Structure 1
Amino acid sequence: MKKYYKYLAVFAAIAMFNCEADDESKLSNYVGFEQGDLPVEIKKDSLFTKTVQVAASEVSSSDRTYSIYVDGASTLGTYYEVPETVTIPANTNVGSFDVVLTDDETLEYFDQTLIFQWEGERGLNISNPVTLNVTELCELTLISVVLEFDDYPGEAYFQLVDFSSGSAVLLYDSRNELSFSGLTTYEHRFCLDDGDYGIAVYDSYGDGGTDYTVSIKGEDIVLSEGSVPDAGSGYPVVTNISDIFTIE
């Protein structure tokens, strides 16, 4: 009976991790990362340590050390520190390793990935990789501005203005950072305090066709939406649509 409970406990631990074995042989000498993509949010300009759990299919009387590496498909551009190995201590089948992550101006509010793989060893069955989805933490309200373009996306640009102080303060002008040429859609995210804000979307030729939506990220709340109008004549001429929305 004790042996039954021992195997049950080991199987339960493995079930929590990234085990895709479909026969008993693959559960022998198996090691896996914890299951699923792991979200990580880092405060602006700070360090954060993320602990990643691993598990083996069997308990050993001695420590076991396995090699890991960062997959080249990872997109995280900020500085990070990752160990080359992870150790599962003696008399247990669970271990962990720490990843030190940093925030800088390149992280922003879109997920960047850090993907871990096992180094293969003869006779060792390994899990699929595990992915950290890393983003900067927004402690205010995360706003999404989405543009959908016509056949001439390079004609479009937008501005975001803060009216909260009683005067207009330009927060963002897309012309200073990029052109939308070649795109069909574009999304930019802003972390904003409560207050009044203005959105203006332009067409530099005047034939309109760009749709926009401003919403609260992760919630079904649309703050503003519309489409840039067509001037109808006199091309080229700049046309725009603008609106004021409130975050509270």
Structure 2
Amino acid sequence: MRKYFKYLAVFTAVIMFNCEADDETKLSNYVGFEISPLYVEIPKNSSSTMEITFASSEKASSERTYSIYVDESSTLGTEYVVPSTVTIPANSNVGTFTISVSDDDSLAFFDQTLVISFQDEVGLDVSDSIVITATELCEETLINLNLVFDDYADEAIWRIYDMDATPPAILYTGGADAEYDGLESYDIRFCLEPGNYGIVVYDLYGDGGTDYTITTGDDVISSGSVPDIGSGYPAVSNISAEFTIE
């Protein structure tokens, strides 16, 4: 049976009952993780480790080993290392284990979760899962590009340019091969250094219908809508703008 468990509750119970090793207590045979969610930001193309604490309701004179697993509700797509078992040392009710998460192109700058659970065992009550939220570390300015489409999202293509380059250089692009077909909206994030940038959003049929907004935090730094050229379809219409990151 799974019960809600908080790391603090274990230590409160230990203080109240002052459990001796192997003595019978009023507490159940219980083990649980520290309070979650936990957060980790991973430098680009690097790995980060995190030590996670867990505790049992009682001490024992010998070490105890528990099985853990990564729950299927996890959304983390990048490489990670999680042990299959964790151990509480003898004469203690607190243990720790280490996980590792690596950055790759699938991580980007959106939160992804790694959900870890205890395996059920006969006679053992366990806590809820612990949730580790991972994202790529941005040490410059994190911007978000939001696109809102009409009924023909497959017509939308966008590009972000480095305007300080000669000629301006494409940094990021999306929408090729009807990438957004069937979507109502799409968000993507970038980590930009200080400088001057440009955005162009295209409609491959020419009837417009895609709105874009670039934000950093709660601040809107650029927005607009692709226009309808009015006639001569199919053709290509676009909207362009420049913006500066301080």
Query: Same fold judged by TM-score > 0.5?
Result: yes
**Over aligned residues, Cα RMSD in angstroms?**
2.2
5 Å-filtered alignment, 1:13-92, equals: 28-92=28-92
- The TM-score normalised by the length of structure 1 is 0.85
Amino acid at match of 1:115: V
Pick from 236, 239, 242: which aligns with 2:240?
Answer: 242
Structure 2: tracts of 5 or more residues without a match: 1-8, 16-24
Q: CA deviation at 1:158?
A: 0.6
SS in structure 2 of the partner of residue 86 of structure 1? strand
Contact 1:46 1:102 in 2 (8 A): yes
Provide the C-alpha distance between the structure 2 equivalents of 1:96 and 1:178, rounded to a whole number of angstroms.
Answer: 47
Deviations 1:72-123 (A, max 9, x none): 2323232222111111223332211101221222222122222111111111
Contact 1:10 1:58 in 2 (8 A): no
Provide the C-alpha distance between the structure 2 equivalents of 1:238 and 1:177, rounded to a whole number of angstroms.
Answer: 15
Amino acid at match of 2:244: T
- Out of 162-171 and 137-146, give the one that drifted further: 162-171
Contact 2:144 2:187 in 1 (8 A): yes
Question: In 2 relative to 1, CA 240–53 (structure 1 residues): closer, same or farther, beyond 3 Å?
Answer: same
Question: Alignment length, in residue pairs?
Answer: 229
Amino acid at match of 2:228: D
Match of 2:201 in 1: 201
Match of 2:228 in 1: 230
For the pair 1:11 / 2:9, whether they are aligned, the reply is no
Identity score, percent = 54
SS in structure 2 of the partner of residue 75 of structure 1? coil
- The TM-score normalised by the length of structure 2 is 0.85
Amino acid at match of 1:99: I
Question: In 2 relative to 1, CA 211–12 (structure 1 residues): closer, same or farther, beyond 3 Å?
Answer: farther
Provide the C-alpha distance between the structure 2 equivalents of 1:128 and 1:58, rounded to a whole number of angstroms.
Answer: 18
Match of 1:130 in 2: 130
Contact 2:222 2:243 in 1 (8 A): yes
Provide the C-alpha distance between the structure 1 equivalents of 2:182 and 2:14, rounded to a whole number of angstroms.
Answer: 48
Match of 1:20 in 2: none
Amino acid at match of 1:150: D
Provide the C-alpha distance between the structure 2 equivalents of 1:222 and 1:209, rounded to a whole number of angstroms.
Answer: 20
SS in structure 1 of the partner of residue 91 of structure 2? coil
